[in-house]
Chains A and B, each alone.
Chain A
Amino acid sequence: MEKTILSGNEAIARGAFEAGVMVASAYPGTPSTEILENIVHYPSIDASWAPNEKVSLEVGIGASFGGARALVTMKHVGVNVAADPLFTLSYTGVRGGLVLVVADDPELHSSQNEQDSRNYARFAKVPMLEPSDSEEARAYTRLGFELSEQFDTPVFLRSTTRISHSKSIVFPQEPLSPSTETGLVKDPAKFVMLPGNARKRHYDVEARLEKMAEWACDQPFNRIEEGTSDIGVITSGISYQYAKEVLPEAHILKLGLVHPLPKRLIREFAERFEWLYVIEELDPIIEEQVRAMGIAVKGKDTFPICGELTPGRVAKAISGKEASPAFSHDEVLPNRPPSMCPGCPHRGVFFGLNRLKAFVTGDIGCYTLGFMPPLSAMDTCVCMGASIGNATGISKVLPPEERKRVVAVIGDSTFLHTGINGLMDMVYNDSTATVIILDNSTTGMTGRQDHPGTGYTLGGEKSYQVDLEGLCRSVGVKHIHTIDPYDLDETRDLIRREMERPEVSVIITRRACMLHKRDILERKPPLFVDPDKCTACKACLRLGCPAISWEPEAGEKGKAQVNRLLCVGCGVCEKVCKFGAFGVCDGE
């Protein structure tokens, strides 16, 4: 087939298709999201969004137990959520091959931490492949299914932002047909992990890893590229590309399988060099294992442990010298952080919370941007779903007056991911905090994916839409209110009232995301500021709307102004202005 240029994520989808995958399940998370968004276009694959990563892995396990090849994908922190089934899946092994793609995010381009998933491979005793470009992403995905079945184990495929979101040339291969051997098989010794069975399986797990480590010494994905200098490098994944870039003359042992390590191959390679580097991003996973073999290497004493590597960082670590740029700034530049879109329904809620001086236990999504000035109305953010439990916990240690200020804020997708459990606890254990569910009818942060609360599937088909009010009622919440967050004053008054209430209450702010795919939003004409009425009070600037800017030169004291190209006509600014200075442009 013809070569093509694909992102790592597109290539993984292609590799899964080629491997005859029948079932793919995931919860979105940058940088992994596009894998499922691409796989859904292959009609032979049943692809779906699960409400969270644990469920997606369990769906994959079920499909594997039924005899099919299954792909499960998630971002690095998703594995924390899916860790429970993962660790026991390692014991059961598979029937149809199962590949779990985990996409790490060194440098935290879009994440709350920088954990290194290779630790999970060791911890859960699951083999892990690590591609270094899109072609390897395709080929290793395919290979992962073969290894999974050959060694009766789930297999990790580890990507990183620079693999998933980089494009390079791919040579697609002919696909295999999906297995025809699916069906029910009873095999309790393998599938029922009670102590008696699991105890035996643990021996199998250890034996499997040992066998694989030896076998991997002679496989083409663990290869030596001979060089001409007297430097040896052990590396894998994207770090391999930086090593080639910076040390073109070095001898390189490139590992395609990063767990288990091919010890014999490493020893043979290492013996040839006085000077051996291990170049790896984040944790010293390879380094520590190589050191434990009694081999001296230069690793994290030379290369940074925090952040991603780059050719420049690798070069600097080795030479000790900083590259001197041809140009450097002699002034401080204004930053350009991301911000909530014009017309974002979240804005008004945070504006209100700010005015009410609430203490907001926050969560993860577009709305996390509510922590930034001028809204400055989010005080904690830990992980998906944490807002509600955090509110419960913090309320427990506050005097009643202060307790009222605690408000948990959570997105609709996040609420269904892991928020509902926290709400159950809140009612069950008699907490008093207020919970706001920001229902914008999509998973905004990761690029607007559907979820059970939107009533549509990954394939775009209509499905049952979770009734959020009903769900909250069913766990025992007595006070549930739904409001349009564009109604600024009403929203703030409602929040104030519910904060006062010494019982759990839920406020659902409902309005679709401005960038929503499906809802055909009424395009409203933009607003303008009447300079004669603007008194330069700057109240509207506190909304942090990208469409409103301050013109210091206008009038005596300056004036607010609306950028017509950005304004979507939500009218929230009009409600903030006490002087009626905002008007709607007509006829456009």
Chain B
Amino acid sequence: MQLTGAQALIKSLEQQGVEVVFGLPGGAILPVYDPLIDSSIRHILVRHEQGAGHMAEGYALATGRPGVAMVTSGPGATNIVTPIANAHMDSTPLVVITGQVASGSIGTDAFQECDITGITMGITKHNFLVKSAQEIPRAVAAAFHLATTGRPGPVLIDVPKDVTQSMMDWWYPSTIEEYDLPGYRPDVPLDEDAIARAVALIDAAERPVLYVGGGTLKSRASAELLAFAERTKMPVVTTLMARGAFPDSHEQHLGMPGMHGMYTAVTAIQRSDLLISLGARFDDRVTGKIPAFAAGAKVIHVDIDKAEFNKVRHADVAVQSNVAAALLAFDAASATPRNLDAWWRQIRDWQERYPLVYEEPSIDGLLRPQHVIQAIAAKAEPGTIIASGVGQHQMWASQFWKFEEPGTWINSGGAGTMGFGVPSAIGAKVGRPERTVWCIDGDGCFQMTAQELVTARAEGIPIKVAILNNAYLGMVRQWQEMFYEERYSEVYLSADLPDYVKWAEAMGCVGLRATNLKEMHDVIEEANKINDVPVVIDFRTDSSEKVFPMVAAGASNDDIMVHPLQRGASK
């Protein structure tokens, strides 16, 4: 069968089981948009290519399947660089297709030419510049294989216009050998010796902590984690990237560690004698000052990526494996720590003394952002998916929402990309249309990518957006208040400019506002009734509210600052 390169590209995506592509056309990718009309693949036309990338990420995080985005050359391609970098930091499987100028024009500074494979070399797992139409099926198959196996990540395919316009004999690789990836071997056999040494460390542990990272979600190891944790009775912490990997309602769950982690999660790690890292990477937002991090603990480091071992923290035992297989191996060897009663008594004491707290909201005063999140949660259906931007609201969402299952927390961790919330929520809703999707957003973040609500309205994707409008780039304001003597520099945004209700309405969404407690409950109820169009709520919150607990950047986790309400109480 003779096909054009463009037809082969679409057919290859169909072969991969792609159900949706997020994108926006332009000159260099034009040939590919023609056969798309006749394809079963749904295309979602975004308003900015950054939106396409984050939607693909939200889709991937919510479904566990790779997200696909397609854009044109030059500025179309550079507009999607931020999501690619974001997906790279968070190991999110993406396949991004970019149009390129015709092969003969490459290197001539042709109209809308840009070296996107060069630009994204350091922020993709791999990228391809396809040289001939005949190679398209191989490139697509290899891209999906790379994006989804081993440590997942974004893969970019750059396709020159003449390649999509020329003819090829249709074929599709049927074996991995045909992908022609001689240097890629994602499956490593379990190192039995490492497992034995890990089991010995577990057997000797008196104060162990299971330090659960995003890799646990990526390897779909939640069931194995639950079984292992319950059998061994070990306390569990889930990082910002792993929220949902272990139920928040579980009594062994101490919550999130790190800069804005729960006091008990942070302190239990600090006092532990064994840290079992499961797909986590000792990020500086978790470790604080590295030499002071869990200084008395031995470390078992389980990761599929061997370059993570000893990168930040010395691993006493390194187990190169996906998390699920390693946990099964620990279970098979009946790894069991010592009696943990004393450890749990200590942990319960910390929990009792330092729970998450915030000041009571007053009847007519400004809303407390934490309270707004809890009020939304109280009325949300089980299984609701939460997306967020980056800033204070993100930390509060992670702290105060109770995550019970994988794929319910859509968030930008490693890159901390403002504007991630709205488009990623849209992508999540596309992937899991039966679920309610709330985006807990900041006023600053909302303004970066809000235009995608036009996409959401046009495509019938009814997400709900709660703007925690504190009139500030709040997280930066918090640092300036605490570490720059309240010298506020370029962080004020205004609560009224823009008018978020009118803006929402202009984008075809329902716009609501709440300035006090009564209105807060009313608008949440109203929003929950709307299921056909997107809803945006402008919650007016107290600007002076800060995120606690907090470990200052570069400080030791031992110097964690608890909420002012808890200060004075002895640690």
Q: Do A and B come from one complex?
A: no
Residues of A within 8 A of B (CB): none
